[in-house]
Amino acid sequence: MGFWIDFFQDLEFQGHLDKSNEMDVDLCRFIFGPMIAQNLHDFKTNWNSHRVRKSRNSLMPAGTPDLLHAYPEIHGEFQQMGRPLTNFRDLCERTFGIIDDHNPFGIDDWNPILSPILTQRNLYPITLHNMTAAYLHLREAVNE
């Protein structure tokens, strides 16, 4: 996530992002939201499937977080927390209330309007390589 924090700070420092401007924030959600959501999903998947080794100074069991959480009885424990967060929808529901996990930032509402503008400049589909140019182009187009 450090990449995204630095990225948005750089955009702001360069004068290309005003966090108090609702349009800038919405454009960021449209352009960067799907990539951020994918990064979070990949991180969660990797983290929850990595192996935790047994520690000499701890009573914590070894294993993978997914299995330790889903089957605590294997290690003589019981589940003390709520059900695990299994996907982006769970995270959104617990954090913000019910949100459509297929359209978490309202991106589908923007697609018919903004994707043709990006397509004219060969900036659609949005990728890691063209995301900054896509954001700057849309920001300029919207502010005209």
- What is the pLDDT, as a whole number, of residue 41? 83
Domain extent, residue 101, equals 2-143
Is the CB of residue 126 less than 8 Å from the CB of residue 134?
yes
The residue with tokens 């589908």 is 108
Q: What does the pLDDT look like over 20-47, one tens digit per residue? A: 998 998 899 899 988 888 888 888 888 8
User: Can you give the pTM of this predicted structure?
Assistant: 0.70
Structural domain count of the chain: 1
Q: How far apart are CA 82 and CA 85, in angstroms?
A: 9
Provide the residue type at 97 as one letter: G
Q: How far is CA 34 from the centre of its chain?
A: 7
- At residue 136 the predicted structure's pLDDT band, cuts being 50, 70 and 90, is very high
Q: How far apart are CA 98 and CA 76, in angstroms?
A: 34
